[in-house]
Amino acid sequence: MDQSTRPLEGLKVVELSIAIAAPSCGRSLAYFGADVMKIESLQYPDVVRLFGSAWARTPEYASVFTDTSPYLSEMNANKRSVGLNLKVAAAVQAAKKLIAQADVFLTNYSTPAVTDLGLDAATLRALNPRLIYAALPAFGSDPELPYYSFISWGPNQAPLVGLDAVTGFADQEPAGVASFAPPDYFAAMHGLVALLTALEEREHTGVGTSIDLSQFSTTVAALGPYLLDEQLSGTVVQRSGNRSAWYAPQGVYPSRGEDRWVALTVTDDRGWQALAAMLDRAGPAATGGDTGFAGDAALGSVAGRHTHHDRLDAALTAWTTQRSAAQAATELQAAGIAAYPLNDTEAMLVDPQLSEYQWYKAVPCFRFPNGDLVGGSALNLEDTPGHWHRAFPTLGEHTVECLATVAGLSDQEIADLIEQGAAFVPTEPDLKLKRPYEHVLGLLGLKGQRR
């Protein structure tokens, strides 16, 4: 595809980021053609690089371990890596020369950290009046706020604002979602919308602006209806597992096999009658001895089914455990009930919807020239679609290139930065890698795909 057809082609973004929030936002910009230059440290690599891969935990790969994390493509696809040690004053000056030529500066470092580096909004916008300064710190950029100096990760935000308190089963401790960290993605999407809005505003005014987006606030925003309900009615939402306040029965039920489940939701009284008839036809042997669902007046309303949800769950569990998840879902769907097997990551890899959509791509990069897996983007523009051309940048891959062509430094200036440890280039550039599961890409029909 002609890169000029991508809607953000020509947009220059300098990203100083870690983990998920700002990197995920920058990844969306890069998908649609923005040139996202990520400033990276050799001494303090991004946490997603530190994950590495289990197969690379050997002396043979120690020098390139930070280029092996499967997480890299999910956060840094299409980006360029600029290796700068911002603890050195000369590196900060080089970064400022990059930012002077940029349209966007994107960071989720804490505001005190970027201020100490001299990369605060006031300094950088004075340097580049057209700059969109997008800050996604944990608690905002106002030093008068109580949490201003605090540092946080997405998994810390969830319990702090009450998200974890409503996650899990009523009779168990809060479950939390630490491995997924929704607050990071909340901030990323809010940040993307704010950035595009600011760029549109610049089209009219000719000058940039500052975006102060608190991850704390974006996570609180996800709980808005709960907070409003408590304020107006005094109702404090409790953990309810997989159940819903609006539908019953609803849940995830075990099926035949190890750790196999089927999800179902009865959305109205008609759906309940269909399910009740199915359970009655199956007989007491299939429902744990329970019978007479269709004729039970106590189950004729959502409120009544909520009251007797435990009874319904017991009967449904007895019924689903005698079937595979696929069989149970098929029978339920045939009766007009919303149901589907609970997919795990292995199942999703070959899911027909994602396969048809070509969600996963095998895209080459510096360290994996035969291709590395990259997941797709949920954002689609019909006439100007996004495109992956690089799985991820190796650490410091584009230092020389960006400092020369964007920052305008001479060959000697760049060599001096590298000599004094202010900048760095890739370690062992001739070492190319293959993942142990590379052969699977071909089996899945992924090798060499482009979109």
Q: pLDDT of 297-337, one tens digit each?
A: 999 999 999 999 999 999 999 999 999 999 999 999 999 99
Domain boundary among 298, 313, 343: 343
**pLDDT at position 184:** 93
pLDDT of 380: 86
Indicate if the pLDDT at residue 227 is higher than 90: no
| Domain final residue, candidates 312, 343, 374 | 343
Q: What is the pLDDT of residues 342-377, one digit of tens each?
A: 998 888 877 888 888 888 888 999 999 988 989 889
Q: Same domain for 25 and 148?
A: yes
Q: Are residues 165 and 37 in the same domain?
A: yes
Q: Domain for residue 158, yes or no?
A: yes
Output the pLDDT for position 349. 76
**Domain end call among 316, 343, 370:** 343
End-to-end CA distance of the chain: give it in Å, rounded: 8
In this prediction the pTM is 0.90
The residue-averaged pLDDT of 131-151 equals 94
Residues 339 and 388 in one domain: no
Average pLDDT over residues 140-166: 90
pLDDT of 340:
96
Domain limits for position 85: 3-221+353-443
In the prediction, which pLDDT does 445 show?
54
Number of domains in the chain: 2
Q: Are residues 306 and 399 in the same domain?
A: no
Note the pLDDT of residue 2: 57
CATH code at 10? 3.40.50.10540
- Please, which pLDDT band fits residue 179 given cuts at 50, 70 and 90? confident
Q: What is the pLDDT of residue 447?
A: 45
Mean pLDDT to the nearest integer, 108-130: 96
Nearest to 211 by CA among 296, 301, 294, 111: 111
Pair 316, 435 in one domain: no
- Predicted local confidence at residue 450, as pLDDT: 40
Same domain, 335 and 365: no
